[in-house]
Amino acid sequence: MKILSWNVNGLRAIVKKNFIDVLKNEDFEILGIQETKLQANQIPPEIEKIPLYKNWSFATKKGYSGVATFSKIQPMNIKTGIDIKEFDSEGRILQLDFENFSFFNVYFPNGQKNDERLEYKLRFYNNFFKYTEKLRKKQPNIIICGDYNTAHNEIDLKHPKANSERSGFLPIERKELDKIIKKGYVDTFRALYPDTVKYSWWSYRFNARKNNAGWRIDYFFVTKEFFPQIKDAFILNEIEGSDHCPVGIEIKD
């Protein structure tokens, strides 16, 4: 089983590019997308026609945030949010429960706008993983994919020193990922490929993608209990259409 995650940076925009081809041609059972930037009445008809189970979480603010999960397998249970209004109102979290695992598609906040948003981002990390820790007592097999908006270590971005005081690579943000790992969540790509330099996001400025001056901020974290089921983890740099590229995992049969 293959599972993909992709920040599409506007679903309506990417549908006009290559998104339908990716849906039709890529080998996956589950796809989580982030930053859909639409409301329920704005879902492109091209998407509605694709024969997949489709689940959505919309932000209250129009044209902002939002996630969607498309799957070839029918989920047993679906939930939006973590029952905290300040986070749920931004449409950042979708939980789908399947027979053998719980799957989270998450668009973690960006903290670059101001100190208030940075604090919001840190609270989001803290409260989200409190929620998953409660769930973990009942369901230890958890997958958490999405745009985490933080590069963890220097290997995860092209210019670590130049960005050391920029949100996305601040020590206080990186510590949040340290905390996750200490709790027993595994960064699947880094665990399998400890020395591989590969990125998942590039600025639209300065020919960043052409020069591969990127950041790895899109992840699949899984609980250590589930990690033995991970066959592979990968980053699909060749797929364009957004400032992010898809990332994924393959689960053992």
Q: Which tokens hold the place of 58?
A: 């919309």
SS3 87: helix
CATH class of 2-251: alpha beta
> How far is the C-alpha of 75 from the C-alpha of 53, rounded, in Å?
8
Residue where the block lists tokens 């974290």: 221
- Cα–Cα distance for residue pair 168/176, rounded to 1 Å: 11
pLDDT of residue 34: 99
* Nearest to 115, CA basis, from 64, 70, 170, 36: 170
The arrangement of strands across the sheet holding 77-80 comes to 77-80, 93-97, 102-107, 142-147, 218-223, 185-187
Name the burial class of residue 41, with classes exposed (0-12), middle (13-18) and buried (19+) by CB atoms within 10 angstroms of its CB: exposed
7 exposure class (CB count in 10 Å sphere: 0-12, 13-18, 19+): buried
Q: What residue spans define the domains of the chain? A: 2-251
- 40 burial level (CB within 10 Å; 0-12, 13-18, 19+): exposed
Please give the Cα distance from 128 to 81 (Å, whole number). Answer: 9
pLDDT of residue 52: 97
Residue 124 CA, chain-centre distance (Å), reads 14
- Whether 4 and 29 have beta carbons less than 8 Å apart is answered as no
- pLDDT tens, residue order, the chain (253 aa): 999 999 999 999 999 999 999 999 999 999 999 999 999 999 999 999 999 999 999 999 999 999 999 999 999 999 999 999 999 999 999 999 999 999 999 999 999 889 999 999 999 999 999 999 999 999 999 999 999 999 999 999 999 999 999 999 999 999 999 999 999 999 999 999 999 999 999 999 999 999 999 999 999 999 999 999 999 999 999 999 999 999 999 999 8
**How distant is the alpha carbon of residue 8 from its chain centre?**
10
The residues annotated with a catalytic role in the active site are: 147
- pLDDT recorded at residue 195: 98
- 3-class DSSP string for 6-31: EECCCHHHHHCCCHHHHHHHCCCCEE
**Phi, psi at residue 92, to the nearest 5°?**
-105, -5
Q: Confirm whether pTM is higher than 0.85.
A: yes
What pLDDT is attached to residue 253? 85
Handedness of CA 5, 167, 190, 228 (dihedral sign): negative
The alpha carbon dihedral of 164, 168, 170, 176 has a sign of negative
